[in-house]
Structure 1
Amino acid sequence: MATPKLARLPSIRDRVEDTLSAHRNELVSLLSRYVAQGKGILQPHTLLDEIDHVFPDDEAKEMLSSGPFGEVIKSAQEAIILPPFVAIAVRPRPGVWEYVRVNVFELSVEQLTVSEYLGFKEALVNEQAQDRFVLELDFEPFNASFPRPNRSSSIGNGVQFLNRHLSSSMFRNKDCLEPLLDFLRAHKYKGRGLMLNDRIQSISRLQSALAKAEDYLSKLPPETPYSDSEYVLQGMGFERGWGDTVERVLEMIHLLLDILQAPDPSTLETFLGRIPMVFNVVILSPHGYFGQANVLGLPDTGGQVVYILDQVRALEKEMLSRIQKQGLDVTPKILIVTRLIPDAKGTTCNQRLERVSGTEHTHILRVPFRSEKGILRKWISRFDVWPYLETFAEFHHVCTTIVFSNLHLSQAAFSITAMLPAIGCCSPSLRDFVNSALTLHLLSWPANPCLLPLFVVPLHLSDVASEIAAELQALPDFIIGNYSDGNLVASLLAYKMGVTQCTIAHALEKTKYPDSDIYWEKFDEKYHFSCQFTADLIAMNNADFIITSTYQEIAGTKNTVGQYESHTAFTLPGLYRVVHGIDVFDPKFNIVSPGADMSIYFPYSEKKKRLTALHDSIEKLLYDPEQNDEHIGMLNDRSKPIIFSMARLDRVKNITGLVELYAKNDKLRELVNLVVVAGYIDVKKSKDREEISEIEKMHDLIKNYSLHGQFRWIAAQTNRARNGELYRYIADTRGVFVQPAFYEAFGLTVVEAMTCGLPTFATCHGGPAEIIEHGISGFHIDPYHPDQAASLMVDFFQQSKEDPSHWKKISDGGLQRIYERYTWKIYSERLMTLAGVYGFWKYVSKLERRETRRYLEMFYILKFRDLVKSVPIASDDPH
């Protein structure tokens, strides 16, 4: 019997050349049609649509489509046309890319490297640019020695892969256990040792001590407090942190003994997750109006604020629970660090410190933006924050001269301390500093010591780093960044402090604005994407781990590119070329999905919990005939179910698209009413560029389609409790929730609606496609095909009208999906475990990561800081 041979898979070039040989005329016709469209970028749907034009014969079309070149076109994400060349970026599966170029005139084919493909693409902007010395960014060499999975199904499960790798290394080589011993011995809280003391100096001594402790503790009742045995265990080499009772201490001892004997991934994760490592957490979210009341719906203020507030409530509960189980008498602290906005528009955003409701140890800490002109008083767009972030993160020294004319000491102290907030010195401890400085000054003043003709006060104007240290009285153990600006500040702080860093993107703007990389100069004056994309690259590569809400956020789907994946290779012509920006297979990626606050969002069927006292105000919102700045439009037939949507009023959220979809479908208008909660109604109230455009479009739609009587537009609502009851009120009408965004990274409103039992239709582009199981727990809609979306809704309402159990089946399916996957309890448990595992990984791999961070530091200093100089400094009014 012949020995089977391994055959090499044909490359993209081979497949194109084979098709040229077999179907020469057909392929020339197709490629010629591409070239005939002229210089530019062709998207996947255009590439496929041209096949229909070239092959009217179904048999010929099927023959090409099912062949090797057909597979290439189906996997193509874009084609660059520079006649006579066609260069195609092919993505056979998530995270894997190949590039090929065809000369249509000569019928020659060549495989391209990433750098060659990007160089060719840059000619779209400037065909004359032939500079061979282009700055190329490549992080791949730094990760060559790091373990990584290679299956697409492993993407987003980084901690599982890392645990397998670590446990395998420990099993194969017992020397790999030494870092674990060092890690346990290094643990301290405010100078006090945790876990192990100096009596245990080796693995053999650790095993011996564990066996001795196991023997001693097994003779005690399981519920015996740790404190009863603390002195004995300390003599064996153990410190606090193993547990609050004998039962929990024994569980930890057994886990560690199992690891030392035969480590496995599950045991290692459980043990690392229970080690007391996280007591102080800092969460960065600089932009927008970050507050607890009257902020939702303000510019740049939406789902991210809700996400973080819900996150910290769940996180504090989990930290308190873990600390108690660890047997420690420690008070955890969580700080949400954001920007202090003096002109706070009726919000609390001008208050330095604000406790988060529903928590005991979590506060919002606000620090102002500064420039050489002083403190910025007004809100600025998230796209304009870049010049402020470095000074926001660090601290600087300012010498402030205050001139007095024969003021008494008490008057001087009062005058100086009164003006501290005006110059940005927010910390209460500065009062003590001023009084001390004045006292010292008096000792050296020979004349009347109570009269001060001149006093010079040197002040440190505190920014985030020093404010955090003052509030925590320690360094943080864990830093979480949010969005591009928060992630950059988190990177600066984590690098400086040597702290474990987690990154949460929420949304990477590069995927929301097509071709915003290659044509960055067209966008830069308005959006400053050159700064933002650079900041994103720095943050995602500096992070110890990255959490996303969905798989799609990382690596997309079979046919669409993920948000992070789009940063694998791209170019900003004239600035730099990214040949390896991020690897979606990197084990730093983890999917940890959030939930909804179940004290606010709960099923409509839980009658005893319903907030019926709010029904009068809800009915006024929905049906009050008065037309004003809070609501316009009327619902004449109150017996109809309601299609409901709630989001920011911007282009991507596509609320106006939903209104147009409804307006154009007569059957849908006959069956249901439409209610949207979004933005301002009066265009004069908005200062946001995109929102202004959408407001104008909404008014045009109402007028052009005569929607009065079937449509209600309500201005943005900030009362979360009432919003929760509003979802349930809509469910009472047997209505639905629709999320029509062109792209949604996760879809918090989708989770909120489903948690309230409201059947949900949501975009198939982004996170909602994973949250919803189509036809089981909701429905997917494609905002690029509004007619099909409208037909799907018509079918649902028609079927529910004929069979009311159909509505309830989808409602119940949505609730089941939420309870299985999308709760804050699941989220917080997972996040704390990840902090433990990656904290250990950071410890054992610190030498290798140092090289990456030095490379990032150079890129930050030489490129990012230069780009920031092009962003105008915002100015307040003369007052």
Structure 2
Amino acid sequence: MNQPDDGLYIVLISLHGLIRGHELELGRDADTGGQTKYAIELARALAENPQVGRVDLLTRKVIDPKVGQDYSEPLEYLAPRAQIVRLSCGPRRYLRKEVLWPYLGSFADYALQHIRRIGRLPDIIHSHYADAAYVGVRLAGLLGVPLVHTGHSLGRVKRHRLLEGGTKEESIETRYNMRQRIEAEEQVLSTAALVVASTQQEVDEQYALYDNYHPKRMVVIPPGTDLERFHPPSRFWRNAPIEQEINRFLSYPRKPLILALSRPDARKNISTLIRAYGENPALRQKVNLVLIVGNRDDIGTMEKGPRTVLKEILLLIDRYDLYGSIAYPKHHEVDDVPDLYRLAARSKGVFINPALTEPFGLTLIEAAASGLPVIATHDGGPREILEHCKNGCLIDPLDADRMGKVLLESLSDRNRWHRWAKNGLKGAQQYYSWPGHVTQYLREVSKVIRKAKKPRLQAKKKSRLPISEKVLVCDIDNTLTGDGEGLRSLFESLKEAGAKIGFGIATGRNFASTLKVLKKWDIPLPDLLITGVGSQIFYGPNLVEDQSWQQHIRYRWKRESILKAMADIPNLRLQPSSEQLPCKISYDVDVKKGLDIPAIARHLRQLDLSANIIYSYQAYLDLLPVRASKGSAVRFFCDKWGIPLEHLLVVGDSGSDKEMLSGNTLGAVVGNYSPELEYLREDSSIYFAQGHHAWGILEALAHYGFLEQEKAVVAKEEAL
């Protein structure tokens, strides 16, 4: 495994949109905007800090002829210590974020495998937006590391705005999967050790809408700006490539420019800006309007949202007859954006952000750093940006008449324009540089990391699974338990072996019952816990359930129909509800009369019902989905975490263990085994121990030499 360099190992997750380290396609669609740029620049800025050893930005791999080949590359280096890591997530083609939800569990699984290949636990995981939050909550829980989250925009706020605008609740849910998004946001707010917000308004007003609102776990760190790219025009600055493209629209290109730069999204409110300009004759006479609204080839082939916005823009231009006064180029490059700000600044124009809602407003900072005054919506981030920079004024985004008057006033006072331009330059440098952002970010993150490592009475340890090379998996009843002295000796041996040996439990008990037994026998929480005869999988140290396993085993599972079919089978009594699970039906068997298992299997097959029938101790009957069993669960675990089956030692004592004992795993049976395992003696690859209970496990460890190499490595490391 490749070891990261010294320093913090930070994993960033930003799933949707198109992410690459060069020529970002900002404005291509609603998913490729400011968040994409923020994640890339944060990764680069973190990697430049000496406290950081490695930054992995995890995103979705896209293999689609409609987008660039770059997005299919598994790895892209951003800087000497930062890289984009692209992982599979559902269909290969490019998908909008609202339809990614069914595939996020798979993305989390691939993220686990990536971290295992690295061979070191991250110091923190930082999720961006609700879809990454879904992944981050599971990943951080599985690994036992702190989770940091940045929302970028919030579902409850968006839903409120859409309802205000007249969109029906049903339409919002159909288009945006809003309930699922908000639930993911609630989960991350209840889980995250730190939430990074861009503004205080975001903390006080937007996050306050959530049930899991914990302002003490939130910190305001405004995004940074690349001040080397965004700067004022020099006296001799000329011939920006985009200038010719702008000028071909304009009859009098030397007029001051009002610049608007955004995605073709209804929330960006470009239509109100056009009305404000078109209905103010003095403003039209004085200045030109430049609209940079994403990139397009053919509006007719675009998705409905952008297509609707662009059609409305063209209709308004025609209604007010703005030809010769307004520029709306079809294409621009990423490298054109700084030049656009400089063109507007050189013309003594202004930048405007008329969005209905603006969580932050990175374009405002870029404009300020370019010496361009700003006019912006009074919502969210712009209020705090202008409070810091004092380089413009705020407007009501719904008042077109007032918007036009403010623009005219702003462009009519030359002294104030120069004062705003100077203030913006100073404010951008003082409050919004990337080095300043990273310094504050690492200061807050370091507090989280120290707190996570602080000893507690019942300390939650990090998972050993990402670095475990071998895993011991045992049944509980009559295997682990039964002999206290043997049990203590077993865990002393495992402790000596070090973190390269993981410890797992596979039991027929339910989750709550398992925890009681662990407490009674003073057994440490395992790294892997399989309960309900393989119907549930949990990972330590926080015992987070594997939801992808639940999805996997529900195949052809008809629980109610099976219950009905089993009602007339003699010699069975349904166990209490505490022993039943969504994917497990459990019965007590009349030991004296026994069961005809083949007859039960035929009975279910004749009714077209599928179940895995597990008969244990000649006293218990469990019916599971056909894909569920202890054996299937341990194999699913090995595949997910990238552990070879030959590196798994499984030890059991009853019929429910037989599937995990067979195959390529290292199998062992303790001396006090149940008679239904006697036939496995014919399999020479399975070791039958003489010792009972934990003594039998220790005997199996010695037989396979399972701990020897690891003990030698630990001894060598201690000697060094």
Amino acid at match of 1:305: T
In structure 2, the CA distance between the partners of 1:684 and 1:787, relative to structure 1 (3 Å rule), is: closer
- Structure 2 residue 18 is matched with structure 1 residue 289: yes
Counterpart of 1:541 in structure 2 is 190
Distance apart, 1:673 and its partner CA? 0.5
- Structure 2 residue 276 is matched with structure 1 residue 658: no
In the alignment, the residues of structure 2 paired with residue 583 and residue 620 of structure 1 have an alpha-carbon distance, to the nearest angstrom, of 51
- Counterpart contact for 1:680–1:686, Cα < 8 Å: no
- Structure 2 residue 59 is matched with structure 1 residue 338: yes
In structure 2, the CA distance between the partners of 1:368 and 1:752, relative to structure 1 (3 Å rule), is: same
- Counterpart contact for 2:350–2:411, Cα < 8 Å: no
In the alignment, the residues of structure 2 paired with residue 815 and residue 368 of structure 1 have an alpha-carbon distance, to the nearest angstrom, of 42
- Structure 2 residue 72 is matched with structure 1 residue 350: yes
- Structure 2 residue 694 is matched with structure 1 residue 694: no
- Structure 2 residue 116 is matched with structure 1 residue 469: yes
In the alignment, the residues of structure 1 paired with residue 209 and residue 178 of structure 2 have an alpha-carbon distance, to the nearest angstrom, of 14
Distance apart, 1:509 and its partner CA? 2.6
Distance apart, 1:312 and its partner CA? 1.6
Distance apart, 1:476 and its partner CA? 1.5
Counterpart of 1:723 in structure 2 is 337
Distance apart, 1:773 and its partner CA? 2.9
In structure 2, the CA distance between the partners of 1:621 and 1:849, relative to structure 1 (3 Å rule), is: farther
1:400-799 map, 5 Å: 463-470=110-117, 472-514=118-160, 520-555=169-204, 562-568=205-211, 581-584=212-215, 587-604=216-233, 606-607=234-235, 612=238, 615-624=239-248, 634-680=249-295, 684=299, 686-715=301-330, 717-719=332-334, 721-773=335-387, 776-799=390-413
Larger CA deviation: 689-698 vs 673-682 = 673-682
- Counterpart contact for 1:640–1:671, Cα < 8 Å: yes
- Counterpart contact for 2:269–2:355, Cα < 8 Å: yes
Amino acid at match of 1:304: Q
In the alignment, the residues of structure 1 paired with residue 255 and residue 3 of structure 2 have an alpha-carbon distance, to the nearest angstrom, of 62
In structure 2, the CA distance between the partners of 1:729 and 1:749, relative to structure 1 (3 Å rule), is: same
- Counterpart contact for 2:61–2:73, Cα < 8 Å: yes
SS at the partner of 1:816? helix
In structure 2, the CA distance between the partners of 1:775 and 1:378, relative to structure 1 (3 Å rule), is: closer
- The partner residue of 2:85 within 348, 365, 386 is 365
In the alignment, the residues of structure 2 paired with residue 698 and residue 191 of structure 1 have an alpha-carbon distance, to the nearest angstrom, of 50
Amino acid at match of 1:646: L
Percent identity for Structure 1 against Structure 2: 27
- Counterpart contact for 1:742–1:763, Cα < 8 Å: yes
Distance apart, 1:683 and its partner CA? 5.1
In the alignment, the residues of structure 1 paired with residue 300 and residue 108 of structure 2 have an alpha-carbon distance, to the nearest angstrom, of 32
Give unmatched runs, 5+ long, in structure 1: 1-188, 193-275, 324-331, 371-375, 395-462, 556-561, 569-580, 625-633, 870-879
Distance apart, 1:704 and its partner CA? 1.0
Distance apart, 1:468 and its partner CA? 3.1
In the alignment, the residues of structure 2 paired with residue 657 and residue 698 of structure 1 have an alpha-carbon distance, to the nearest angstrom, of 10
In structure 2, the CA distance between the partners of 1:702 and 1:515, relative to structure 1 (3 Å rule), is: closer
Distance apart, 1:857 and its partner CA? 8.5
- Counterpart contact for 1:781–1:789, Cα < 8 Å: yes
CA deviation string 1:54-104 (max 9, x = no partner): xxxxxxxxxxxxxxxxxxxxxxxxxxxxxxxxxxxxxxxxxxxxxxxxxxx
Distance apart, 1:515 and its partner CA? 7.0
- Counterpart contact for 1:352–1:366, Cα < 8 Å: yes
TM-score (norm 2): 0.61
In the alignment, the residues of structure 2 paired with residue 636 and residue 509 of structure 1 have an alpha-carbon distance, to the nearest angstrom, of 43
- Counterpart contact for 1:680–1:695, Cα < 8 Å: no
- The partner residue of 1:312 within 43, 49, 61 is 43
CA deviation string 1:376-410 (max 9, x = no partner): 1211111111001001111xxxxxxxxxxxxxxxx
Distance apart, 1:294 and its partner CA? 5.0
In the alignment, the residues of structure 2 paired with residue 393 and residue 762 of structure 1 have an alpha-carbon distance, to the nearest angstrom, of 38
CA deviation string 1:694-745 (max 9, x = no partner): 01111111111111011111235332x3211221121111111001100111
CA deviation string 1:217-267 (max 9, x = no partner): xxxxxxxxxxxxxxxxxxxxxxxxxxxxxxxxxxxxxxxxxxxxxxxxxxx
Distance apart, 1:794 and its partner CA? 1.0
- Counterpart contact for 1:282–1:480, Cα < 8 Å: yes
Amino acid at match of 1:729: L
In the alignment, the residues of structure 2 paired with residue 858 and residue 839 of structure 1 have an alpha-carbon distance, to the nearest angstrom, of 20
In structure 2, the CA distance between the partners of 1:779 and 1:493, relative to structure 1 (3 Å rule), is: same
- Counterpart contact for 2:28–2:296, Cα < 8 Å: no
In the alignment, the residues of structure 1 paired with residue 357 and residue 210 of structure 2 have an alpha-carbon distance, to the nearest angstrom, of 17
In the alignment, the residues of structure 1 paired with residue 421 and residue 301 of structure 2 have an alpha-carbon distance, to the nearest angstrom, of 36
CA deviation string 1:764-784 (max 9, x = no partner): 111011000399321111102
SS at the partner of 2:356? coil
- Counterpart contact for 2:295–2:332, Cα < 8 Å: no
Amino acid at match of 1:619: E
- Counterpart contact for 1:297–1:716, Cα < 8 Å: no
Distance apart, 1:280 and its partner CA? 1.4
In the alignment, the residues of structure 1 paired with residue 543 and residue 363 of structure 2 have an alpha-carbon distance, to the nearest angstrom, of 38
Amino acid at match of 2:411: F
SS at the partner of 1:741? coil
Give unmatched runs, 5+ long, in structure 2: 462-514, 516-538, 556-720
In the alignment, the residues of structure 1 paired with residue 417 and residue 304 of structure 2 have an alpha-carbon distance, to the nearest angstrom, of 39
- Counterpart contact for 2:27–2:263, Cα < 8 Å: yes
SS at the partner of 2:85? strand
In the alignment, the residues of structure 1 paired with residue 214 and residue 543 of structure 2 have an alpha-carbon distance, to the nearest angstrom, of 19
In structure 2, the CA distance between the partners of 1:746 and 1:760, relative to structure 1 (3 Å rule), is: same
- Structure of higher RCO (CA pairs closer than 8 Å, 6+ residues apart): 1
Distance apart, 1:831 and its partner CA? 1.1
In structure 2, the CA distance between the partners of 1:798 and 1:513, relative to structure 1 (3 Å rule), is: same
In the alignment, the residues of structure 1 paired with residue 310 and residue 96 of structure 2 have an alpha-carbon distance, to the nearest angstrom, of 18
- Counterpart contact for 1:773–1:779, Cα < 8 Å: no
In the alignment, the residues of structure 1 paired with residue 107 and residue 225 of structure 2 have an alpha-carbon distance, to the nearest angstrom, of 31
In the alignment, the residues of structure 2 paired with residue 728 and residue 766 of structure 1 have an alpha-carbon distance, to the nearest angstrom, of 26
CA RMSD of aligned residues (A): 3.2
TM-score (norm 1): 0.50
